[in-house]
Amino acid sequence: MKKLLISIFILLLTVFTSFAQVTTSNKLPKWNLSNQFDGTESPVLNKVTKTSAFIPITCPPGARHENEPCKVAALDSVNGGCNTPPYVYYSTVELGDTICGAAWVDSIPNGTMYRDTDWYLFQLDSYYDFEFTAVSEFNALCFIIDMTDGCGNLTTPYSDTFSGLDTGKMSGTLSPGYYCVWMGASGWSKFYKCASDSLDYWFTISGTPTSAPSFCPVDTPYSSILEDEPCGDDSNGGCNMTTPTFDTVNVGTVIVGNVWFDGSTRDTDWYIFTLTDTTIVTLTAKAEFTGYTGFIDFSSGCPVSSFYSYVYFYPCQFSSLTEKLPPGEWVVWAGSDYSTVIDCDSNVYKLGIFQGPATEIIDNQNVLTSYKLEQNYPNPFNPITNIRFSIPNASNVKLTIYNILGEKVATLVNELKTAGTHQVEFDASYLSSGIYFYRLETPEYIDIKKMILMK
């Protein structure tokens, strides 16, 4: 039965067109995915059924609850992930968490059957061997989705399907980046109304750090833009060329290209884009070589003498840079660092240019019922990072930064804040590298999280 379901999924995913080297029995190819993950009905997938030997799920002690209100009209606006454009709603998890949740399948006002899908976001700052276990009351799908390139370029390094009599399991190795645990029913049924007969599940995900492989090939996501520069040429070398030439891109683009360095001449790639409003833009990078990438303010054209900001990247690692950029023309630059001769046909990089944090987390203020302090992004950072927190009602808020000795080094917020989600930028350019702590305090709530400044 399991082989049959997998065959059906493979057939589906070759028809639809928009959506770690480990050997494992449940590791599936990195598919290009579309509405495999959405909430709209597909006539091909089997209908959801509780198994004849139905066993109710009991939430394990110490687990966190999804706490998603039963609200069909909201169309999954709590943790519906990439199903809820233009906003992207997630629940956040960490390795070691156990989560209890519920899924439902119900009709929406226009008569279409809609499937609740739950997306749980987590970040890895190094390589991890992970293990995932899930139990459900229904025929379920679970995926580990690579979110590093945003909603338009999703891939699934791991997946499993299981019934209410089975236990879902996945294991393997994940590289640094952003990922989601995806949970949902394997199809649609008219018998599982929101709230009245939801389908319960729980899962746990854990991991241990592991060493990076000696070589990590960069993949080419579906819908990415290929540089297509001839080997040994420098056709988009920007201001380094006698006649400046650029590749034009848009925010929301994933670029796959390559660079070279022959010991004296270095290939550099320049990508130009235009902003009409002040915009938070995140640049993500993975590469098969050591180099750096960054933003260049191109409002004055060529020549340029410095970066607006930049970040280094290293083989088998994920790097990111987030800036609030004013309107105008901007360049994303990529190149090697002169440290090693690089053959032009074997060193690939992948850049993502996104609006907002690399994977945007937006809380729905209409359903906000509790306090929350989120992990800063990016982390580690140099020298700027963003801290987001949510409060369910207007309150006096204090957000302070401490060093590892417990000494206060900054006060970012000390005022009355309205109910909702707030984001604060922290510039640590005057501080030395190390571990720091940020503390959110209100009359009803206190939380502390750790962050790493790496210069």
3-state secondary structure of 410: strand
In a domain, 220, yes or no: no
Quick check: helix, strand or coil at residue 59? Answer: coil
* Position with higher pLDDT, 127 vs 362: 127
pLDDT of res. 11:
36
Instruction: Note the pLDDT tens digit of each residue in 224-256.
Output: 788 877 776 767 889 988 899 999 998 888 888
Residue pair 230/321 in contact by the 8 Å Cβ criterion: no
**Type of residue numbered 266:** R
Residues 79, 170: one domain? yes
Q: Which CATH number does the domain housing residue 394 bear?
A: 2.60.40.1930
Q: What is the mean pLDDT of residues 319-335?
A: 89
Domain boundary among 355, 382, 403: 355
Domain that holds residue 51: 2-209
Q: Which residue type is seen at 239?
A: C
400 and 319 part of one domain? no
Same domain, 131 and 55: yes
Residue 28 Cα to chain centre, angstroms: 20
Q: How confident is the model at residue 426 (pLDDT cuts 50, 70, 90)?
A: very high
| Mean pLDDT for all residues in the chain | 75
- pLDDT bin (cut points 50, 70, 90) of residue 141 is confident
- Phi (first) and psi of residue 123, to 5 degrees: -120, 140
Residue 24 lies in a domain: yes
- Please indicate, yes or no, whether the overall pTM of this predicted structure exceeds 0.85: no
Q: Are 411 and 398 in contact (CB under 8 A)?
A: yes
Domain harbouring 229, CATH code: 2.60.120.380
Cα–Cα distance, 40 to 416 (Å, whole number): 42
Query: Is pLDDT of 416 > 80?
Result: yes
How many separate domains does the chain show?
Answer: 3
- Residue 74 pLDDT level (bands cut at 50, 70, 90): low
Q: Do residues 376 and 449 lie in contact, with contact meaning Cβ atoms separated by under 8 Å? A: yes
In-domain check, residue 217? no
Tell me the three state secondary structure of residue 93: coil
| DSSP string over 152-173 | GG-EEEEEEEE-TTS-EEEEEE
Model confidence pLDDT, tens digit, residues 97-118 = 999 888 777 766 666 677 788 8
Lowest-confidence region among 256-265, 341-350, 428-437:
341-350
Q: β-pairing, 268-275 with 247-248?
A: parallel
Residue 178 has pLDDT above 50, yes or no: yes
* Cα–Cα separations (whole angstroms), residue 379 to 284, 352, 434: 13, 17, 12
Per-residue confidence (pLDDT) for residue 407, from 0 to 100: 80
Instruction: Identify the pLDDT of residue 345.
Output: 64
- Write the DSSP string, 114-152: EE-EEEEEEEESS-EEEEEEEEESS-EEEEEEE-TT-GG
pLDDT for res 15: 29
Please tell me the number of Cα atoms within 13 Å of 131 on its side-chain side: 5
Same domain (yes/no): 175, 94: yes
The verdict on 116 and 82 lying in the same domain is yes
Mean pLDDT across 204-220: 83
Question: Distance between CA 7 and CA 304 in Å, rounded?
Answer: 54
Claim to verify: residue 326 and residue 381 sit in the same structural domain: no
**Of 181, 209, 237, the domain-final residue:** 209
428 and 398 in a common domain: yes
Specify if 219 maps to a domain.
no
Domain assignment present for residue 45? The answer is yes
What backbone phi and psi angles, to 5 degrees, belong to 432? -85, 160
Q: Are 290 and 197 in the same domain? A: no
My answer on whether 196 and 311 are in the same domain is: no
Same domain, 188 and 235: no
The beta strand positions in 276-407, using DSSP E, are 279-287, 291-297, 309-313, 318-325, 328-336, 348-355, 372-373, 384-391, 395-403
Residue 334 is predicted with a pLDDT of 92
pLDDT at res. 51: 38
Q: Which residues contact 310 (CB under 8 A, 6 or more apart)?
A: 292, 293, 294, 295, 321, 333
Asked if residue 393 belongs to a domain, the reply is yes
Where does a domain end: 209, 238, 268? 209
Instruction: Return the pLDDT at 193.
Output: 61
The answer as to whether 441 is a domain residue is: yes
Instruction: Give the angle 391-394-399 at the CA atoms, nearest 5°.
Output: 55
Q: Are residues 51 and 167 in the same domain?
A: yes
Asked whether residue 434 is domain-assigned, the answer is: yes
User: Do 69 and 169 have their domain in common?
Assistant: yes
- 360 to 60, 85, 302, 431: CA distances (angstroms): 30, 11, 33, 27
- Per-residue confidence (pLDDT) for residue 75, from 0 to 100: 57
